[in-house]
Amino acid sequence: MKQTRMRYTVLMDKNESGGYTVTVPSLPGCISQGDTWDEALKNIEEAITGYIETLKLLKKPVPVEVEVTLKDPVVA
């Protein structure tokens, strides 16, 4: 069976108390975290895999990437 690999944009936010929170705009509710950048990235990859597997089990469509527009942060 041919397997398709998809790419999703993830948004990583550095937490004030340390670590990172990661969200996937194309997959509502898909969120993870980690103490380091690499850990957070690994955790969100696992979350995305689980999210998509669950959608397939429920016979729901798997969302494709949506365009995300980011604004440059304003530094005071």
pLDDT higher than 60, residue 1: no
Residue 68 has pLDDT above 90, yes or no: no
pLDDT class of 4 with cuts at 50, 70, 90:
low
Cβ pair 38, 44 in contact under 8 A: no
Q: pTM of the full predicted structure?
A: 0.79
For 10, residues 6+ apart whose C-beta sits below 8 A from its C-beta are: 22, 23, 24, 41, 44
Residue 76 pLDDT greater than 60, yes or no? no
| pLDDT per position as a tens digit, 18-67 | 999 999 999 999 999 999 999 999 999 999 999 999 999 999 999 987 66
